[in-house]
Amino acid sequence: MIVVFHPSATRNQIDAVSEAVRGRGMTPVAVSLGDATMLVTAESADAETVAVVTAAPNVARVVQISGSHRLTTRAFRAEDTRVPVGPATFGGPEFVVIAGPCAVESSAQMSAAADAVHEAGAVMLRGGAFKPRTSPYSFQGLGVAGLALLAEQRTRTGLQVVTEVVTPKDVEVVAQECDMLQIGTRNMQNFDLLRAAGAAGRPVLLKRGMAATIDEWLHAAEYLMHMGNGDVVLCERGIRSFDRSTRFTLDLSAVAEVKRLTHLPVIVDPSHSTGQPHLVGPMSLAAAACGADGLIIDVHTDARNAMCDGFQALSGEQFAALMGRLRPVVHAVGRSLGAKPGAKLAPSLTTV
């Protein structure tokens, strides 16, 4: 059962309904979605309970949804959910572009990357402080020190910051420093991490697991939303297939299908999916054309010396050229492309 309140509902009114539901042997969880608050239970309610709850002050409606997709499904919410992160909004008329290096390496590297993506028109900065790697001998990130470097660039450029969190114990410190938490492909079904991230009070970018079905991907989103977080953005980043021509296979059909099934915003990662800089541009244009709400792109101004995934990163010049090509496609599908390129920046806060 899902109880949806009017935006004008008071905390006392919500608490009163919660207690009434709990008194009938059910366990309600409060979830915020847009300007509305709702109570969600794992159990279905009988007709008497539905009648009592429906009659409570400021209850907009009571929804009974069968199946395991309850909060993500369009059967629950027909209109698109918009997820604000600072001045950027996923799921609205704006096509949101996130860009930056795969890993945070140094202040100088982050300043150069932030300058490049900001001046080209990106509205959010990405960079991994904690890096889950396939090999234990690969660079694992700077950790907390990397978070400080991301925060430095947010202060200097005004770009909101998204970074990956990899363990439940790190969720609190990452949430304190960053504007959006990322759950990576290797952790999409790390359920303890999903619970912790869902309760952190920050928007969450949920990447599809490299071997996950759409059903499993949406179930992971349910974990986040069931913990009270309605600000979830899905990211298609490629799945494993038999073909090794590209790093993964970018499933753009999944973007259109998930947009049909769910009200949540969906963006695309053309960098990790293809692993080929020359394919990032075409796949970015295709993502915009097929209905994606944005992109997350690897950009490094010294890719040859990158400590993580430099082989797939665009240079600053390549990223600026892509933004120029992307703009007319985005406009053709009735959307805008966020910030105007060429903004002036403050000097770096750290001399290296």
CATH code, domain with 294: 3.20.20.70
46 and 190 co-located in one domain: no
59 and 175 co-located in one domain: no
Q: How far apart are CA 214 and CA 228, in angstroms?
A: 22
Q: From edge to edge, which strands make up the β-sheet containing 59-63? A: 28-33, 36-41, 2-5, 59-63
At which residue do the structure tokens 């005004």 appear?
158
Q: For the chain, what is the domain count?
A: 2
Are 307 and 103 in contact, with CB atoms under 8 Å apart? yes
350 found inside a domain? no
Are 237 and 273 in contact, with CB atoms under 8 Å apart? yes
Q: Which value, to the nearest 10 degrees, does the dihedral of the CA atoms of residues 113, 182, 245, 138 take?
A: 70
Could you give the C-alpha distances from 21 to 77, 258, 271, in angstroms and in order?
22, 32, 47
307 found inside a domain? yes
56 and 124 co-located in one domain: no
pLDDT at 352: 28
Strands 28-33 and 36-41: antiparallel
Half-sphere exposure of 332 (CA within 13 A, CB side): 12
194 and 293 co-located in one domain: yes
42 and 90 co-located in one domain: no
77 found inside a domain? no
125 and 17 co-located in one domain: no
pLDDT at 345: 56
Mean pLDDT by 10 residues, the chain (352 residues): 92 94 91 85 88 94 85 91 95 97 93 96 94 71 90 95 96 96 97 97 97 97 93 97 93 97 97 96 98 97 82 94 97 87 50 30
22 and 136 co-located in one domain: no
Are 247 and 275 in contact, with CB atoms under 8 Å apart? yes
134 and 277 co-located in one domain: yes
CATH number for position 56: 3.30.70.1140
24 found inside a domain? yes
pLDDT at 142: 85
38 and 148 co-located in one domain: no
DSSP E strand boundaries for 148-217: 160-164, 180-183, 204-207
Print the domain residue range for 7. Answer: 2-63
Element (H, E) at 32: strand 28-33
pLDDT at 331: 97
43 and 136 co-located in one domain: no
Which DSSP string corresponds to 47-94? HHHHHHHHTSTTEEEEE---SS--SSBTTT--SPP-EEETTEEETSSB
pLDDT at 134: 72
105 and 55 co-located in one domain: no
In single-letter form, the type of residue at position 243 comes to D
